[in-house]
Amino acid sequence: MNVVITGASRGIGYELLQRYLKKGYKVYAIARNVQNLKNIPNVEAISLDLADLDEVLRVSKYLSDKKIDVVICNAAISLPHSPSFTPFEDFKKTIDINFLSIHALLSEIVPNMKSGKIVLISSLASLVGAPTSMPYSASKRALNSYAESLRNLLAPNIKVINILPGFIKTDMTAKNDFYMPFLMDLKSGVDRIEYAIEKNKKEYAFPKRFYYFIKLFNLLPLSLKDKLLQKVAK
């Protein structure tokens, strides 16, 4: 069995890599810096900057004949939260990595998959248009729509699993200088992700308390929601 994991050199991706190795999979591990992935048995490390979409397409073509069973699109970037209007280049890079690179990676792999799973790591941040993290929220909300389209396009043979985690302790969240509600340790977070993959959950959001809080927030009148989000932006 063969699995592709993006963002495999650290955090969630690296933890998933270790777990799939224990299951006996061969792992095609994609990351910008693959130094810590070299010389690991049953791992083929692929150095790739997901912002370089032409190179992502080349890697997709390379992987297309490897009989891939699972693709886990985990890699993402997040800019520091800021009330300033995001510069175009920063916005474009976020969209390219968090969204467009996923379709580029799948473009040559999916047509050669007769069965298997595609796992997309979205975020609870996709459920609210946070004014201080506009490109991240936008990229993840686009990913939710993409997941729904892809799931129904590829059914029933290929399972598409969209996972929406809250805050998990990783290098990405370590940069945040604000309170992160329901912050989970890495192992617990990846336990939930692994569960969603194994159970073929079409969409799986966690932690549930945070998810339900956001759902309730989205039931508020738009004028009240806007007032609260505008306070966050100041």
Helices (H), 23-84: 53-63
Confidence grade of residue 173 (pLDDT, cut at 50, 70, 90): confident
Q: Which residue has the tokens 């996923």?
A: 102
| Cα–Cα dist 186/19, whole Å | 13
* CATH number of the structural domain 2-233: 3.40.50.720
Task: Give the number of other CB atoms < 10 A from CB of residue 173.
Answer: 16
Examine the pLDDT at 186 and tell me if it is beyond 80.
yes
Those residues with Cβ within 8 angstroms of residue 216's Cβ, 6 or more apart along the chain or in another chain? none
Of 78-87, 201-210, 217-226, the least confident: 78-87
Examine the pLDDT at 119 and tell me if it is beyond 80.
yes
Burial per residue of 45-55, b for 16 or more beta-carbon CB atoms within 10 angstroms, e otherwise: bbbbebbebee
Predicted local confidence at residue 82, as pLDDT? 86
Instruction: Over range 74-92, report the average pLDDT.
Output: 93
pTM, two decimal places: 0.94
pLDDT in tens, 18-52: 999 999 999 999 999 999 998 999 999 999 999 99
